[in-house]
Structure 1
Amino acid sequence: MSRNGAAHYTDADRDVLIIGAGPSGVTSARVLAESGFKVTVLEQGDWTNLADYPSTRPDRELLVAGPWNPNPNIRRAPSDYPVNDDESDVHTFMYNGVGGSSILFAAEWPRMIPSDFRVKTLDGIADDWPLTYEDLQPYYEMIDEMIGVSGRGGNTAYPPGEAPPQPPLPIGRIGEVAARGMNRLGYQWWPGTHAILSRAMGNRGGCARWATCSSGCPEGAKASFDVAMWPAAIAAGVELITGARARQVTVSDKGLATGATWIDRKGVERHSAAPIVIVCANGIGTPRLLQLSSSSRFPDGLGNSSGYVGRNLMMHPVATVFGAYEDELESWLGPFGQPIWSMQFAETNIDRGFRRGAKWTIAPVPGPVEILQRLASLPLAERSGAAGHRLVERFQGKCFEWSASVEDLPVFDNTVTLDPERTDSDGIPIPKLRYTMSEESRRALDWNIDRLVEVHEASGATFTHRVDYMPEMGWHLLGTARCGDDPETSVVDGYGRSHDVPNLYVFDGSVFVTSSSVNPTSTITAFALRAAEHLAENAANQRTPL
């Protein structure tokens, strides 16, 4: 083990091997490299060129339906692997490449609220996290500074703390109209907090309000982590190997991680050794890799003595209400995610008929295809041909949607396992999902969607259309290698360290104990930042296979 300029390194001067170049992988790589560690990151995808994004192209909506679709089963890029979600109520979204799924995320940047970490204590369900909001708060604030987060301070949904480092983005006319309805009903709302620059920083431009965040930001304003974090990580000395598909974490005779075996783009098997291995492959890729790494010592998967690897998959069910208005709302303008949002109903109120809550947010509906997609449950004759044209003419620029993302409570039998029959292009078993939305989540969606209709009506909507739940919204892949103090009921501790393999770590969304109702990336990166700092500070006590 080496640190801060010490002379001894192993395997090409490597101290740490990280699998996955997304937000948690690059955040931890940067922190460790800046602390003096020699770090290598394996990424099965490649760099994405901003010029290749479909966001500024007239056929953007068609490209998003095909080669730029967030569902890897539709996109089928060389770096993707299939996901068998035939038995899942929600389909998987992810992007394999440098920056991970942040390439295509909408950059909504909420934090979990304090009660989210204490669900067992407060509501008698699920489990508490082994850390608190207060433990993560300084790391939330640090990551905001590192990537350039915009927003307004003083949000009533959170305890006091530092305001976002950049001013908020405009809420636009749709925000003004949505806020009008919220005010009439007495509901809390706040301007959106975004991982998007409102002012240029370095070589990244400020937001130009394309409203195409989820198909790649052409300005570099959005903090996709290829542009927001990787340049600093590389400057700190991180080695990045792309086109490297990990197939197994290797272990010594004593049960310590020794590195990873991976397949390059030519199909050649390679091995990278390191005395510390960190897995950051997302809530599906991480349990898949740990299960692929089974052996006689770890027959049920690496680090899986608890049986919790691949269990408790959480995916944040979402429902939306499309609303159309008489006035011009310029609803082709961004940002795409949460110009305004609300945590009015984020806490438990058992009188609603379910526990925990929901995050509400508005979003523009910028294109004609997107308008017709929102109305897909209408009879075909009402949304195709001349009738479809009339709908677009009526609604274009005059509509937006409210959405409710409900807290998805952990269910032990919602799983990620290895498919016994199907493999990826390198012959590696693909992940198989079994995910059934709970009755509690269904009740939560029904209750919240009724309220969203009321808000649209209070804002003056002349037409509303419900989408009771959106199966094509599986962005948030959480809980499948959860953290905890008890090795019998968790996979890693509160710093992401495996209970079974003391030099193996998990820093991605797999560690989540509960899902909250909010987008998870700010919490994923704050956790990774805190965990990497702890690893660096305790390097002298780290067990390694040397």
Structure 2
Amino acid sequence: MTEIGRPADATQTDVLIIGAGPSGATAARILAESGIRVICLEQGGWVRRTDIPSQKPERDVLIASSWSPDPNVRNNSWDYPCDVVDSDMHPLNYNGVGGSTVLWGAEWPRFVPSDFRVKSLYSVADDWPFTYEEIAPYYDLLSEMVGTSGLAGDPALPPGLEHSMPPVPIGRIGRKAAEGMNKLGWHWWPSSLAINTKSHGDRGACARWATCMSGCPEGAKSSFDVAMWPAALAAGATLVTEARVREITVDKSGLANGATWFDVDGKEHHTRASSVIVCGNGIGTPRLLQLSTSNLFPDGLANSSGLVGKRLMMHPYVGVVGVYEEDMESWLGPFGSVLQSLQFAETDLDRGFARGAKWCANPIPGPMELLMRYSDLPLEQRTGAAGQAIVERALGRSFEWGAEIEDLPDENNTVTLSPDMVDGSGIPAPKLNYRLSQDSVRNMQWNLERMHEAHRAAGAIETKEIPYMPAIGWHLLGTARCGDDPATSVVDPYGRSHDVPNLYVFDGSVFVTSSSVNPTPTIVAFAARATEHMLETAGDQKVPA
């Protein structure tokens, strides 16, 4: 156990939440503030600001090993491994309080209205079971709860979007990126970010370290361990750390009645609950549902549709580095992105593929990050004197345009239980079967050509294409999709299982389509909307005897 420790009674609660990432933290806070007794089980622990590698001299070594975003590299006792031998992309996540937001770039874009209606508009994939207008108030609510910075008035978004803090400066690289986009007549806007630009409590304002994705030394980045959990705990929620859940249990009538879990010493416990909410991400949630078999649910919990673990979406990513003559101080953050473009986010079937991409202009904060973008070169061309020449030529004078590709749902892209790999408690690991579609390949190539063009328009003297990299799967979506029809979805529009009426899923597993933007704002807006509905319908909730 860590700082929160084990409560005096972790054996029974009204609502049991599994996973302390963004959606779990959001649900815990709203429920606790409404007077509901809540226990959250998190298989990782708390990360102290002094533990993160960002301000350490050995940072580059740490983020390639014990602080890697890839759990198979990191190999922390809090992690579970992932079987990726049959996957074109590798999942990146973090198990701990705050989940993967501990190591995220804090980008805070919301879906555009068409993202919820791609079937109706473009005859592609499926529509979501609700509209942008229905979820928009919850985007607003979570921006207020978390604290976001940005600039109102983005013409690519509906009017009315506000932020509680002014944007992080776009800096010289942002101005240079905007210069090229303006020449081409293409959209750009300062990025919306879950980053403080004003000090608040013990959290400082952004100091532009550009180390967001290895932890924020100032506490300015709104990872959910600092931005949401303190309020949830103050409201009375209980958080049990280093609690690895083995299965969700059910009673004789098929209602969820809690979960069985192991503590850090390997001792088994069971927490009984009237309702269970699963917030384990698009890999961890289908894994747990498939582990939770019984006579009533031999194919896994909530899986009468057969869709648990299917339609995995992961947002392929490609980029182009532009090198310029002038010094642009391109080691300054934030990182995430300083500005974004939705110029090519909508579908245009004349391009030869469906859907689109979100662009982001990223800094390159250090020599190792720069050389990583040249990793496709032969070793002798990127090490020694040759590597030093690259650094001297490009460091501080380059930035990256990156394109995040909308990933369409495909039932052949799956999360199942590995027959060969287990975690530290002997529980089967998740196995990914994921292949890039030809649609995604065409989408990536088309956007690569446009990013070269954007750099050239801005005056780049050199461009370097970053090859597609499998280890880029930050966004894990779609494996327990929501919908109105129990035959074609796992949960309803409010995250409630069609099969088990007191079991809910609130994480990115519920996504019907992936959009091309970062998913966290939509994940937590969904969780807030679903939690509110859960409270409003509590009188009708079936509970175990």
8 Å Cα contact 1:129-1:484 kept in structure 2: yes
- Give yes or no for contact 1:318–1:445 (8 Å, CA) kept in 2: yes
Residue aligning to 2:482: 483
User: For residue 389 of structure 1, what is the amino acid of its counterpart?
Assistant: Q
Give 1:358-377 correspondences, 5 Å limit: 358-377=357-376
Q: Structure 1 residue 470: deviation in Å?
A: 2.3
Distance apart, 1:203 and its partner CA: 2.2
C-alpha distance in structure 2 between counterparts of 1:215 and 1:472, whole Å: 16
Secondary structure in structure 2 of the residue aligned to 1:27:
helix
Aligned equivalent of 1:179: 178
Give, in angstroms, the shift of residue 204 of structure 1.
Answer: 1.3
* Matched residue type, 2:111: M
CA, structure 1 residues 166+77, in 2 after alignment: closer, same or farther (shift >3 Å)?
same
Q: Distance in 1 between matches of 2:11 and 2:437?
A: 48
User: For residues 496 and 44 of structure 1, what CA distance do their matches in structure 2 show?
Assistant: 22
**What letter corresponds to residue 128 of structure 1 in structure 2?**
D
Counterparts in 2 of 1:243-282, with a 5 A limit?
243-282=242-281
Counterparts in 2 of 1:106-505, with a 5 A limit? 106-505=105-504
Tell me whether 1:531 sits opposite 2:492 in the alignment. Answer: no
Q: Could you tell me whether the CA contact under 8 Å between 1:45 and 1:97 is conserved in 2?
A: yes
Give the residue type in structure 2 aligned to 1:371: L
- Distance in 2, matches of 1:349 and 1:54, equals 42
Verify: 1:48 aligned to 2:36, yes or no: no
C-alpha distance in structure 1 between counterparts of 2:12 and 2:389, whole Å: 64
Structure 1 residue 183: Cα displacement: 0.2
Q: How far apart are residue 60 of structure 1 and its match?
A: 1.0
CA shift, 1:169, in A, is 0.7
Whichever residue aligns with residue 222 of structure 2, its letter is: A
- Alpha-carbon distance between aligned partners in 1 of 2:267 and 2:156, rounded to the nearest angstrom: 51
Q: Could you tell me how far 1:463 is from its partner in structure 2?
A: 1.1
Aligned to 1:73: 72
Query: Is the partner of 1:290 in helix, strand or coil?
Result: helix
The one-letter amino acid paired with 1:442 is: V
Instruction: Judge conservation of contact 1:61–1:367 (CA < 8 Å) in 2.
Output: no
- Secondary structure of the 2:173 match is helix
Counterpart code for 1:21: A
Identity %: 61
Task: Give the stretch that moved more between structures: 17-26 or 127-136.
Answer: 127-136
Is 2:101 the counterpart of 1:98?
no
Deviation digits for residues 402-458 of structure 1 (CA, Å, limit 9, x no counterpart): 000110000001000001122111010000000001100000000000000000011
CA contact 2:12–2:271 (8 Å) conserved in 1: no
Asked whether the 8 Å contact 2:11–2:270 carries over to 1, the reply is no
Q: Which amino acid aligns with 2:367?
A: P
Give secondary structure in 2 for the equivalent of 1:15: strand
1:12 to partner: Cα distance: 5.6
Aligned AA for 2:28?
A
In structure 1, runs of 5+ residues without a counterpart are 1-9
Query: What is the Cα deviation at residue 59 of structure 1?
Result: 1.7
- After TM superposition, give the deviation of residue 275 of structure 1 in Å: 0.5
Task: After TM superposition, give the deviation of residue 202 of structure 1 in Å.
Answer: 2.5
**Counterpart residue identity of residue 124, structure 1:** S
User: When the two structures are superposed, what TM-score results if normalisation uses the length of structure 2?
Assistant: 0.98
User: Does the 8 A contact of 1:48 with 1:98 survive in 2?
Assistant: yes
Q: Deviations over 1:109-167 (max 9, x none)?
A: 10111111011111112111111111111100110011110000011111112311111
SS of match in other structure, 2:13: coil
Tell me if the contact between 2:322 and 2:463 (Cα under 8 Å) persists in the aligned partners: yes
- Alignment deviations for residues 34-71 of structure 1 (CA, whole Å, 9 cap, x no partner): 11100000000000010011101122111100110000
Q: Is the 8 A contact 1:103 1:216 kept in 2?
A: yes
Query: Separation in 2 of the partners of 1:258 and 1:46?
Result: 25
Q: Partner residue of 1:521?
A: 520
User: Post-superposition shift, 1:86?
Assistant: 1.1
Q: Does structure 2 conserve the Cα–Cα contact (< 8 Å) formed by 1:445 and 1:468?
A: no
Confirm or deny: 8 A CA contact 2:11 2:271 kept in the other structure. no
Q: CA–CA distance in 2 between the matches of 1:382 and 1:34? A: 58
Q: What value does the CA root-mean-square deviation take over the aligned residues?
A: 1.0
Residue in 1 that maps onto 2:4 = none
Q: What is residue 6 of structure 1 aligned with on the other side?
A: none
Q: State the alpha-carbon separation in 2 of the partners of residues 111 and 11 from structure 1.
A: 36
Render the CA deviation track for 1:363-394: whole Å, top value 9, x for unaligned.
11111111111011122221111111111111
Q: Distance in 2 between matches of 1:309 and 1:475?
A: 20
The answer to whether the 8 A contact 2:46-2:97 is kept is yes
Q: 2:56 & 2:393 partners in 1: Cα distance?
A: 23
CA–CA separation in structure 2 for the residues paired with 1:128 and 1:201: 40
**Can you list the C-alpha shifts for 1:333-358, whole angstroms capped at 9, x where unaligned?**
00011201000011111111111110
Instruction: State the partner residue of 1:507.
Output: 506
Give me the whole-angstrom Cα distance separating, in 2, the residues matched to 1:493 and 1:176.
44
What secondary structure is seen at the aligned counterpart in 1 of 2:50? helix
What secondary structure sits across from 1:403 in the alignment?
A: strand
1:13, distance to aligned residue in structure 2 (A): 6.0
SS of the residue 1:247 aligns to = strand
